[in-house]
Structure 1
Amino acid sequence: MSARTGQEQGFTLVEALVALLVLSIGLLGVAAMQLKSLQGAHAAYQRSIASLAAQDAQERLWAEMAAHWAAHKELKCPGPGSVNGEGAAWDDQWSSLLPGLNHVPVSLEDTCEYDITVSWDEGRFSGEGAPEFTYAVMLPGDTGEE
């Protein structure tokens, strides 16, 4: 074996610091990706809640129509305000799960065609605006307006 000179033994302090800097930058990138994935998971959770809220509004419209059928034996389209009718109001039920939830999300477009718009305020994602979902629902029946 040949003897090594003093310049070839191990790493220098500068090389170790450069390696530590490269490793630190990589770890910062991993932390940023983790943050983005958590934000995406939270946004997906809120979209799921918005979808459930819209389905609940649709079912409240169906329930109002069924109640009118039971009482009068005619299919009549309920008014948009029937979503916040008797019992627990729609917005009271869902506003605890979606911050800044819009109130009375249902609008009657045409003969028994409704647009259910669910929007809420999301402060975590700056610059994206308020998320909004619109669902179109068509029920059988007549508006009763002639």
Structure 2
Amino acid sequence: MTTQSSNLQHGMSLIEAMIALLVLTIGLVGLGALMLTSMKNVHSSAHYSVASAIVLDLEEQLWFDITRTAVSSPTTGCISDTAIGARASAVVTEWEAAAAGGEGAWSDANRFKMPGISLAVGTTTVSGVDKDADGVDDVSWKTVPVTLSWDEGRFSADQTSESYTANITLPCRPNFLNL
């Protein structure tokens, strides 16, 4: 004797299809949120790269200033804080002028534009080494803390300020060069 079951299922029910659609929708919304976060991080990392380049530009120009100008402090042989501050202001002005020189919204210059940029030079410290133990530093250097700040948000509702901090070490003129 054969028994036939009358409740055999063929295919998916409507509830199973709705649950699968719900799981797919949650996954797609999560993927969209991940894309937005990824784009924000890429934008932020581009600004950090430009900030690093600006601070490196400042460091190179300060080293150049040391080699081509007279040392302003005969006691320590270090470049003055006033000269460092003036150079920092000039670097920001140069970068802003370069970013403003682009043609159209998608120019190379606009890629490097950082809104609300400001460069602050902190309190410098002078350190030295007395190699011949005569009480006078034979070699000394100046540490310059630099903080570059900018507005990160691309839209008015998302205006956050970011900053990049670095320490620049500048050599002072060795004392044996003091004539």
TM-score bracket, normalised by the shorter chain, equals 0.7 to 0.9
SS at match of 1:135: strand
Residue 89 in structure 1 maps to residue 94 in structure 2: yes
Give how far 1:5 is off. 3.1
**One-letter identity of the residue aligned with 2:115:** P
Query: Does 2:54 correspond to 1:38?
Result: no
Q: Is the 8 A contact 1:68 1:76 kept in 2?
A: no
User: CA shift at 1:23, angstroms?
Assistant: 0.8
Aligned partner of 2:120 in structure 1 is 105
Q: Closer, same or farther in 2 for the Cα pair 1:109/1:94, shift >3 Å?
A: farther
TM-score by length of 2: 0.61
Deviation, 1:77, is 0.7
Runs of at least 4 residues of structure 1 off by over 6 A?
A: 125-128
In 2, the alpha carbon distance for the partners of 1:99 and 1:83 equals: 17
C-alpha displacement at 1:128, in angstroms? 8.9
Q: Secondary structure at the match of 1:97?
A: coil
CA distance in 2, matches of 1:133, 1:127: 19
Which protein has the bigger strand share?
2
Structure 2 gaps of 5+ residues are 101-111, 127-141, 174-179
- TM-score, normalised via structure 1 length: 0.73
Distance 1:92 1:76, change over 3 A: farther
Report the CA distance between 1:122 and its aligned residue: 0.9
